[in-house]
């Protein structure tokens, strides 16, 4: 299936210079972003069936992150646009889902605020470091945080009892684990920023 899709994109009449933007991995990433309007159905406080459907869609969309990364590496289509879009897409989908579950009482507002502020802070730190020639790559902690967020948000979307478990309690438990990883990984980025940018700059001066 993946080979077929890749051959389809290879056959499209796209100028070589545009293939850095219009390619299969970036298209999958854009599909992930296009799911965001569907998340606004959460504001309708969906019932048990619709909550389960939305959670299923959210899980499928979230794990396209693994798919586009795999395709980019397998077919050597790693592009600057892809590196820019991929992490933004993840944060947009997950953070939007969390924000939209605040009004319907499925997630505490303060938790979402901490996560969003952390994401802005980390992006700022990485951008400043990049402007000075230092690249702070995504950490293992950050990836674990994102994975926990996906599971937490999925369970909180289900909300109602599912397969003998209280989905809301399960989701809330994983959410606090994700919160811990968010704060911890944020501090890890801050330490790296200090070591590689602030301290080196002070030593040079």
Question: pLDDT, tens digit, for every residue of 66-75?
Answer: 888 788 788 7
- Residue 12 has a pLDDT of 76
Q: How confident is the model at residue 183 (pLDDT cuts 50, 70, 90)?
A: very high
Least confident of 17-26, 48-57, 100-109, 113-122: 17-26
Least confident of 102-111, 174-183, 184-193: 184-193
Q: If DSSP states are collapsed to H, E and C, what string results for the chain?
A: CHHHHHHHHHHCCCCHHHCCCCCHHHHHHHHHHHCHHHHHHHHHCCCHHHHHHHHHHHHHHHCHHHHHHHHHHHCCCCCHHHHHHHHHHHHHHHHHHHHHCCCCCCCCHHHHHHHHHHHHHHHHHHHHHHHCCCCCCCCHHHHHHHHHHHHHHHHHHHCCEECCEEHHHHHHHHHHHHHHHHHHHHHHHHHHHHHHHHHHHHHHC
- Residue 171 has a pLDDT of 96
Q: In the chain, where are the structural domains located?
A: 2-204
Q: How confident is the model at residue 23 (pLDDT cuts 50, 70, 90)?
A: confident
* Cβ atoms within 10 Å, residue 181: 20
Token pair listed for 116: 């969003």
- Residue 156 has a pLDDT of 96
- Residue 7 has a pLDDT of 75
More confident residue, 189 or 133: 189
110 has a pLDDT exceeding 90:
yes
More confident residue, 78 or 54: 54
- Residue 122 has a pLDDT of 87
- Residue 203 has a pLDDT of 54
Least confident of 66-70, 165-169, 171-175: 66-70
CATH class of the domain whose range is 2-204: mainly alpha
Torsion of CA 152, 157, 158, 161, to 10 degrees: 70
Q: If DSSP states are collapsed to H, E and C, what string results for 100-119?
A: HCCCCCCCCHHHHHHHHHHH
């Amino acid at each position: 299936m993946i080979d077929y899709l890749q051959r389809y994109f290879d056959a499209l009449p796209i100028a070589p210079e545009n293939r850095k933007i219009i390619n299969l991995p970036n298209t999958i990433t854009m599909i992930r972003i296009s799911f965001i309007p569907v998340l606004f159905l959460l504001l309708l406080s969906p019932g048990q069936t619709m909550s389960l459907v939305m959670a299923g869609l959210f899980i499928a969309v979230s794990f396209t992150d693994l798919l586009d990364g795999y395709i980019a590496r397998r077919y050597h289509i790693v592009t600057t646009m892809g590196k820019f879009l991929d992490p933004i897409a993840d944060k947009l989908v997950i953070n939007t889902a969390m924000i939209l579950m605040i009004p319907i009482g499925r997630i505490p507002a303060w938790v979402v605020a901490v996560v969003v502020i952390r994401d802005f802070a980390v992006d700022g730190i990485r951008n400043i470091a990049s402007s000075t020639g230092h690249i702070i790559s995504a950490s293992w902690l950050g990836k674990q945080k994102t994975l926990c967020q996906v599971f937490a948000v999925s369970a909180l979307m289900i909300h109602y009892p599912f397969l003998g478990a209280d989905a809301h309690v399960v989701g809330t438990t994983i959410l606090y684990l994700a919160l811990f990883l968010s704060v911890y990984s944020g501090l890890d980025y801050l330490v790296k920023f200090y070591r590689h940018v602030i301290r080196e700059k002070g030593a040079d001066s």
